[in-house]
Amino acid sequence: MDQRTLTGGCQCGAVRFVLDAPPDNVHVCHCRMCQKAVGGPFAVICPVAKSAFHVARGEIAWFASSDVARRGFCRDCGTPLIFDYPHDPGIGVMAGSFDRPDLVPPVVQYGVESRVPWYGHLPDLPGDQPTYSEDPDGMLPRIQASNHQHPDHDTDVWPPKA
């Protein structure tokens, strides 16, 4: 775990956060609730003390996913950001929302009863092609020219002024 200050936020930049301490027990969760919350086959959750998590810009919206837990997200772009038991002193930050998700590697897996059967075969798939390495329609330049996604670093103002 890198000891630098960790920052992150949502896809559109409306919500930004900073951590004063590194996460502990970063984990992959395969449970069905996490699958639905992130729209993927698993979530990677980075637990940290609530006292070490600070919203630097915007406001997190909440969905009560059960009677004991809630999910925090950006109300503008929908990016999943947080898993929270309101009574607990810790909060789980979604790894993909960090500017540097490579600095929060998982150390354990939970919810394996719901793990999709093909998960273990991911390393066997071809994976040496960069994004849009085959781009006959020229999508990558068009995407890059019209990208509305917040960059992976803090900004003073977002969106940028025209």
What digits encode the pLDDT tens for the residues 71-89?
Answer: 999 999 999 999 999 999 9
Number of domains in the chain: 1
Of the listed ranges 70-79, 84-93, 142-151, the one predicted with least confidence: 142-151
Res 40: pLDDT = 96
Cβ atoms 8, 98 nearer than 8 A: yes
- Please tell me the chain's helix, strand, coil percentages from 3-state DSSP, rounded to the nearest 5: 20, 25, 55
Q: Provide long-range contacts, Cβ within 8 A and 24+ apart, for 75-82.
A: 75/14, 76/10, 76/12, 76/14, 77/10, 77/11, 77/12, 77/14, 79/9, 79/10, 79/11, 79/12, 79/15, 80/37, 80/38, 80/39, 80/43, 81/9, 81/10, 81/15, 81/17
Q: Does 70 or 156 have the greater pLDDT score?
A: 70
- The answer to the question of residue 66 being in a domain is yes
With respect to residue 141, please indicate whether it lies within any of the assigned structural domains.
no
- Residue 125 included in any domain: no
pLDDT > 60? residue 116? yes
pTM of the model: 0.89
Residue 133 — very low, low, confident or very high, per pLDDT cuts 50/70/90?
A: confident
Instruction: List, in sequence order, every residue forming a beta bridge with 62; answer none if it has no partner.
Output: 72
Tell me if 69 is assigned to some domain. Answer: yes
Q: Is 129 a domain residue? A: no
Q: Residue 98 domain-assigned? A: yes
Please determine, for residue 129, whether its predicted confidence score (pLDDT) is greater than 90: no
Any idea which residue has 């950001």 for tokens? 81
Q: Which CATH number does the domain housing residue 91 bear?
A: 2.170.150.70
pLDDT band at 2 (very low <50, low <70, confident <90, very high): very low
Q: Which helix (H) or strand (E) holds 62?
A: strand 61-63
Residue 162: predicted pLDDT: 65
CB 15 within 8 A of CB 9: yes
pLDDT averaged over the chain?
Answer: 92
What is the domain extent for residue 78? 6-115
Predicted confidence at residue 1, as pLDDT, reads 42
- Of 79-93, 107-121, 124-138, which gets the smallest average pLDDT? 124-138
Smallest CA-to-CA distance from 82 within 157, 1, 8, 6 is with 8
16 found inside a domain: yes
